[in-house]
Structure 1
């Protein structure tokens, strides 16, 4: 034990903070209290120490730290009672100090050596507060806790950092101060404190200003001694460092370096290095060529040795199937023959190499590498030191995986568009190639996504006469607006005599006659120009100069508010009706196409026009791992026809809910030949490739208004499904479907085979048209679901349909 006095603070004024007296009287009072209750053999120790202290009266009064060296025997007895008997004073960091820690007068040899060997400048704190301020907080902490039962301002602990000269690693120590044997005396009555007000000072970190003013230290006396203990918290500090990396949300290179440094601190061995390898995947396949997570010795060694990617990937995939801890204390030729991947590590200068699997939520998230240029054995002692960090590393790997996936999605959304699962796998590959090669400046443009030999299906659900309905709604609304304006101008004329008012009235009446003949948007623009350039400035000036007219003018402007005004009521009703149809049809298609994906993946693109149009592409390249057969094409064609019946029934059922009644037409374009499609990055959509394929696009965009040959009748009609085709064989297949659906009660027995007028650049078009059988008639009674057929007829049709689907 050591009785040399250690001056903790050399230049700071500590005694000026508060009066204090070094005394053992609080310990004496404590021992007397314990003797009243202690019945074991410990009481003899307490009694003996109590007699020894009371024998020397000077210990009960105010004694200097320097004078205590002559009472070493008594101090050693105090040490024996206040510390566990099994503790060795050469290993225990323990000491006694003045009531306000300033001078250490008794310490273990280990404590004394610690203070002599460690520079206080290495103290690690979260702020740069002066020592005097920290000591003042310590004093008030003790006072508030003792007299007011108030939560401490700060913990009575200080963290010191020290670089071990042997391992070159940083070690951390927690220095704690125990005030159990410090009595705090106060002169007179204790002042009352407003803790609500004090709380506001705490929020601003100015609580000392309040306390110094309301709780002056001149009225207090600290008497007794403090116990100082030092604990090695290196392991906990390292774990906290890893946790901080997670909290800071920095999961890239800097966080990985920080975690690796913390792991080295945990290991306590400066010769040990660590590598981190999160398992990042693209389409469920591992990828490693990523610059942000290149903290793996194995990956870097493999790259340096130009190891083929396939070999490396197969190695890791094999490990992923059977994850386990691998320990190689010294890489030799025998082990290289068993595990060839060790060769690249040896070439990189690695002598020992170990792998520990890291899990997150019971799922393998990556591996932790432990390696060294020297022979190192990863034993139970090292593993036990690393074990607390494993869950945190698992969390870090999970964040890395999520960060990587988010970046993949970000590029997908930026370079492409919202993608369907059926084709996203190919976009994932393209994005990964872009990210991998972009880091080495090899590729600046992302590759084009192409699917070859795809079978197209096109369908259109159009709102009948939508342009006519829109023009009618516009004319009705403009009439309301002009009549309201006429009423406003007449009201103004009663209060203001201006010839310009009569001219505007004349113009308004003239426009009411002209709106019935609106034939183009140009005339609508002229009306809007008249209102904005002539009418509205006039109304604004009149309202400003003649307050009596404000009521009339404001009432007119309320009429033309798009969201609520009467001059937009018809257009709002039309918009609500159109949205109702489009929303219900879109939701139906979304639900229905999900079932299609279950049979065979296909690309399904839906577009909003005045109605809803959709493209479907199906073929082998959509799902390379699943064999394609024409059976799936026939199945989706039958679905298309069935869905058109459902949509026609759905839209008819919505009429009673529409503020403006609208009807729909249903159109299918039949195209048997396969085409190629590619994703246009600039337009964020798929389009056809090649001159022949482009003809398909041209036809499908023009057939919606095609006429029946020799007539003025549009092919598309409400309550009917129209199917346009070129090849008679295509019609034959669909006629089998129609016959089947007539028997099932979906379609009427009114099939028409029609020839169509030539379109610009397109001739030879033909069509099938058939009526939809609705579930309920206009009178509300059920229609006959099917024409009664003889059993032989039914059986014959079913056989024909089966042959078509199997062919």
Structure 2
């Protein structure tokens, strides 16, 4: 046993302000009580100890911890009474300290050695700085006061969790330091204030409350006498498990970080710095395993496979085979013989790994993934290792399953966002209808039909961004490709003619010339089919024959067949460039609307649905029935109409800025249909989309579909033109509203000062259509994309 003084916290000035003294009196009082109640032979020992204290002058003194050696006999008697006789002081962490723990003056050899070796490296796991340590000490003191004088339970337990990094293993270890306050008496100077639980309950659970308690119960009114008993327990394994549990509920970290923290805890559980762990959830798409995700980045096999370029087919085959027959596999050493039998081990050996094991992890009897155990040294006793981490396996299984669930949820979110009509703004209605359907089904009513989802009295907004002359552009691209193909055939035949003398060659050249003349004019779908027949039935068999039988001519003939490839061939180059250009435009427009979705929804929830045409069309519906918990006002309608006009200008500038970035320059036209009267819409279950409801409302849909190619009355000029926004309307009141918006945006340098008010031609069943048309100002730099983003989009498409 040691009587050297150990300072618990040298920097803690707060303790110096507390009136306390070291005394044995509370212990003596305890002995007297035990003698009266103890019925075993222990009572004789208690009497012996009590007699020693009563005949020693130290019982009536305020002791100095620095003089503890003078009272060693008394202190050893305290140790003998308070600890089990079979404990070995070289292994038991136990000590006595001043009443409010500040100085340790008597300790076991184990405690003294530990404190001397590790105290400088100890860190309170839940205390971040000196101020918080002071606050914990204050809480310790007020726990005593409230418990002794008011009968309130302690706010927190009298324990602290400390950690340190083991200098030999470099692994974290955790110790719980508990303080027994049984042998502390508290003297009060003056009268205690009356306190009820209701008075102080708000102050019991936070550090700020301690300052308020100091005002009600000044510490200057109290004196602490006696000593505290401190025990230190190694809780490394329990804390490592708790850390893994915390990761399961900690959503502040991304999954890769969560896995890293869990792996650190597994290493702590193993108590062996040479052992490493990997975790790999089994994520699947259509029952096929996938590994190219962040969740898989903590697998050493995945990392090594990528680093040393293992064939993807080989890796997936190994993984699929293992999933069919999962069982623990452990390779204590990676020998040539084992690598020959299991080739995937080679990439691990290239990474420097000498031992490797795979262990299946199950969640609810379903395989959730694997845990890897590996080392850069050879591991012999892995069975002992597995027994240490067995308690963590249910937590590991839950974490792997969480990754699977999160991955599936992300896939579902993308599908819902990108491929279905269901949006958060209307999700609540579908939830209600689905619940009503389930309630009826639960009542075992047969042949129940699900209720139609309807939103009544909603205001529609329609917009269309169309690629100008897309049909003409497609025909032109087709003609250019066919010319290139026919020219390639003729060049090939002319070369063959020099070495192979057949009249049939001249005939094929002649037919190609005839087709070139036809392609230069207008080509129909029937012409395309006839040309395909010419190639398949005459040209291809002819050239294939010479490619097989005349090796010297193979190279020139291969150029023709290479030209037939849709992905890379010359005969599809113009159509590929056109499709890539159109795709870039549409992708940019869609990306723009995805970016501004929040702006649209934040003012008032609405339903926003896009359609893919040669460009992009969209419907927006806004009204009280879409958000019944919000109060709808026409000002929200006006706000979204202004947003629509402004967004059309942004899209126009966006597509104009792409002209230099696309291989085939294309222009877009912009159209808005203004409709002031509310309509009803319903969800068509068969088509999985919303449609208008009722005969009157269908007229809105008819007009919307016919105005894209409408002409200005008395002319052959199309309303929609590049660089301009066209707004079609019936009512002059609608025009007046939009004139205000146009004026505002013109002053913002978004629109030009070239407004036109136009009469439109009559359409079938539709009369009285008018339009506003205004140009978009390209002077401001588009805010949505910078040049780098445009280049990235070009590369992606």
TM-score, normalised with respect to structure 2: 0.52
What are the ranges of 5 or more consecutive residues in structure 1 without an aligned counterpart? 420-443, 449-524, 530-560, 563-570, 591-603, 613-659, 663-759, 761-807
Q: Does 1:178 align with 2:260?
A: no
2 CA distance for matches of 1:206 and 1:338? 65
Shift of the alpha carbon at 1:202?
4.5
- Mark the structure with the bigger radius of gyration: 1
Structure-2 change in CA distance of 1:365 and 1:608 (3 Å) = closer
Q: Secondary structure at the match of 2:179?
A: strand
1 CA distance for matches of 2:50 and 2:83? 17
Shift of the alpha carbon at 1:98?
1.1
Q: Secondary structure at the match of 1:605?
A: coil
Shift of the alpha carbon at 1:15?
5.2
Structure-2 change in CA distance of 1:264 and 1:358 (3 Å) = same
Structure-2 change in CA distance of 1:209 and 1:291 (3 Å) = closer
Q: Does 1:123 align with 2:124?
A: yes
Shift of the alpha carbon at 1:168?
1.2
Structure 2 residue aligned with 1:300: 303
Shift of the alpha carbon at 1:219?
2.6
Structure 2 residue aligned with 1:236: 238
Alignment check: 8 A CA contact 1:94 1:229 kept: yes
Task: Please list the CA deviations of residues 422-470 of structure 1 after superposition, one character each: whole Å capped at 9, or x if unmatched.
Answer: xxxxxxxxxxxxxxxxxxxxxx99999xxxxxxxxxxxxxxxxxxxxxx
Structure 1 residue aligned with 2:75: 75
Structure-2 change in CA distance of 1:610 and 1:49 (3 Å) = closer
Alignment check: 8 A CA contact 2:280 2:295 kept: no
Shift of the alpha carbon at 1:75?
1.6
TM-score, normalised with respect to structure 1: 0.52
Superposed counterparts of 1:449-460, under 5 Å: none
Q: Secondary structure at the match of 2:17?
A: coil
Structure-2 change in CA distance of 1:114 and 1:416 (3 Å) = same
1 CA distance for matches of 2:208 and 2:114? 35
Structure-2 change in CA distance of 1:82 and 1:380 (3 Å) = farther
Shift of the alpha carbon at 1:280?
0.2
Structure 2 residue aligned with 1:371: 374
2 CA distance for matches of 1:359 and 1:445? 45
1 CA distance for matches of 2:215 and 2:226? 26
Shift of the alpha carbon at 1:144?
0.7
2 CA distance for matches of 1:88 and 1:179? 23
Q: Does 1:269 align with 2:272?
A: yes
Structure-2 change in CA distance of 1:350 and 1:404 (3 Å) = same
2 CA distance for matches of 1:360 and 1:607? 38
1 CA distance for matches of 2:113 and 2:33? 35
Shift of the alpha carbon at 1:173?
1.6
Instruction: State the aligned residue count.
Output: 451
Q: Secondary structure at the match of 1:190?
A: coil
Superposed counterparts of 1:537-576, under 5 Å: none
1 CA distance for matches of 2:321 and 2:51? 75
Q: Secondary structure at the match of 2:175?
A: strand
Task: Please list the CA deviations of residues 99-149 of structure 1 after superposition, one character each: whole Å capped at 9, or x if unmatched.
Answer: 111221110111111221120663333443254433222111111112212
Q: Does 1:340 align with 2:422?
A: no
Q: Secondary structure at the match of 2:330?
A: strand
Structure 2 residue aligned with 1:470: none
Structure 2 residue aligned with 1:212: 214
Q: Does 1:413 align with 2:416?
A: yes
Q: Secondary structure at the match of 1:398?
A: helix
Structure-2 change in CA distance of 1:126 and 1:135 (3 Å) = closer
Q: Does 1:105 align with 2:105?
A: yes
Task: Please list the CA deviations of residues 230-282 of structure 1 after superposition, one character each: whole Å capped at 9, or x if unmatched.
Answer: 11122222222222222222352211111111211221111111111000000
Structure 1 residue aligned with 2:732: none
Shift of the alpha carbon at 1:188?
4.5
Task: Please list the CA deviations of residues 192-240 of structure 1 after superposition, one character each: whole Å capped at 9, or x if unmatched.
Answer: 1143342334466422333222222233221211011111122222222
Q: Secondary structure at the match of 1:331?
A: coil
Q: Does 1:605 align with 2:678?
A: no
Alignment check: 8 A CA contact 2:177 2:233 kept: yes
Structure 2 residue aligned with 1:187: 189
Structure-2 change in CA distance of 1:335 and 1:209 (3 Å) = same
Task: Please list the CA deviations of residues 624-662 of structure 1 after superposition, one character each: whole Å capped at 9, or x if unmatched.
Answer: xxxxxxxxxxxxxxxxxxxxxxxxxxxxxxxxxxxx999
Q: Secondary structure at the match of 2:176?
A: strand
Structure 2 residue aligned with 1:12: 12
Structure 2 residue aligned with 1:141: 143
1 CA distance for matches of 2:103 and 2:117? 17
Superposed counterparts of 1:419-568, under 5 Å: none
Structure-2 change in CA distance of 1:193 and 1:273 (3 Å) = same
Structure 1 residue aligned with 2:168: 166
Alignment check: 8 A CA contact 2:126 2:161 kept: yes
Structure 2 residue aligned with 1:91: 91
Structure-2 change in CA distance of 1:124 and 1:611 (3 Å) = closer
Q: Does 1:358 align with 2:355?
A: no
Shift of the alpha carbon at 1:161?
2.0
Shift of the alpha carbon at 1:97?
0.8
Structure 2 residue aligned with 1:21: 21
Task: Please list the CA deviations of residues 543-588 of structure 1 after superposition, one character each: whole Å capped at 9, or x if unmatched.
Answer: xxxxxxxxxxxxxxxxxx98xxxxxxxx9xxx6xxx8xx78xx5xx
Structure 1 residue aligned with 2:477: none
Q: Secondary structure at the match of 2:53?
A: helix
Structure 1 residue aligned with 2:451: none
Shift of the alpha carbon at 1:19?
2.2
Structure 2 residue aligned with 1:62: 62
1 CA distance for matches of 2:79 and 2:383? 35
Q: Secondary structure at the match of 1:159?
A: strand
Structure 1 residue aligned with 2:514: none
Q: Does 1:256 align with 2:256?
A: no
Structure 2 residue aligned with 1:684: none
2 CA distance for matches of 1:15 and 1:261? 36
Deviates more, 1:62-71 or 1:198-207: 198-207
Shift of the alpha carbon at 1:293?
2.4
1 CA distance for matches of 2:174 and 2:322? 37
2 CA distance for matches of 1:412 and 1:445? 21
Q: Does 1:285 align with 2:288?
A: yes
Alignment check: 8 A CA contact 1:276 1:369 kept: yes
2 CA distance for matches of 1:606 and 1:207? 57
